[in-house]
Amino acid sequence: NAGVTQTPKFRVLKTGQSMTLLCAQDMNHEYMYWYRQDPGMGLRLIHYSVGEGTTAKGEVPDGYNVSRLKKQNFLLGLESAAPSQTSVYFCASSYSTRGYGYTFGSGTRLTVV
Amino acid sequence: GQQLNQSPQSMFIQEGEDVSMNCTSSSIFNTWLWYKQDPGEGPVLLIALYKAGELTSNGRLTAQFGITRKDSFLNISASIPSDVGIYFCAGQLIQGAQKLVFGQGTRLTINP
C-alpha cells in the first residue's frame, strides 16, 4: 500500500543540467499535481493533470515541463536547471470527486549549484 | 492569484498548552483543509471542512470553517511533543481540477 512514491529523494544538479522527477501513485487517482515548497512560502502549484494524457499550468510553471502518459505516473522535467529551482518538490494525487484533499509523496529535495 | 494568510508563522509553547492558528483569504472556498508536515515528509491531512460554520474534531484537534467561507481556524488542545511540525491550511475549489491553495504554514515548537 505505497500511496504516492517520489524518486529520487535527493539530487544535486549543476546549473544547466536537466533531470526528471518521477511520481507514481497506486490509488487509481484521476488527478495529480506537482508543488514546490520554499521556506516561508508554503506550497505553490507548478503543473497539474486531470487525467491520463492531460496537463495544465499551475501558479509557477516557468522552467518546468510535465507529462502524464500513464494514469499512475506524473513526470516533472527541468530542461535547464537554475539555482532558483533549488527547492523541495512534492507530488500529490486525488480523486476527481468532491474535495477529499490530496495524498502527498514524501518529497524530492533538489539543490542546483 | 489567490492567497491564504496563515498566522502565526511560528509558535513556541510549553507541553500541555493549547494552540490556536488561523487562515484568512480574499477568496471564497468550498472546502478548507488542515495538513501537518513532519520533517522530511509530505503533508498529511488532519481535518477537512465542507460547509460554512462546520466545526469538526479529530482527537485533540478542532477546526472550523468560517461563516464567510473566507477563513478557518485550527485548535490543538493539551499539546504533546509529537505535535511538533509545520501546520498548513489549504483552501480548495470543487470545480475543475480541485486545486489547493496553501497558507504559508505555522511552525510549532514545543518545550517539554
Q: What is the pLDDT of residues A92-111, one digit of tens each?
A: 999 876 656 789 999 999 99
pLDDT tops 70 at residue A72? yes
B92, B98, B99, B102: best mutation site toward chain A, by most A Cβ within 10 Å?
A: B98
Three-point CA angle A63, A68, A72, nearest 5°? 130
Check whether B1 has a pLDDT greater than 60: no
Report in angstroms the alpha-carbon separations of B15 from B19, B78, B83: 10, 7, 9
Whole-number Å distance between alpha carbons of A17 and A30: 31
pLDDT of residue A112 exceeding 80: yes
* Closest residue in chain A to residue B1, using alpha carbons only: A59
- Residue A102, pLDDT score: 86
Categorize the per-residue pLDDT at A17 as very low, low, confident or very high, splitting at 50, 70 and 90.
very high
Cβ neighbours for B41, distance < 8 A, ≥ 6 positions apart: A106, A107
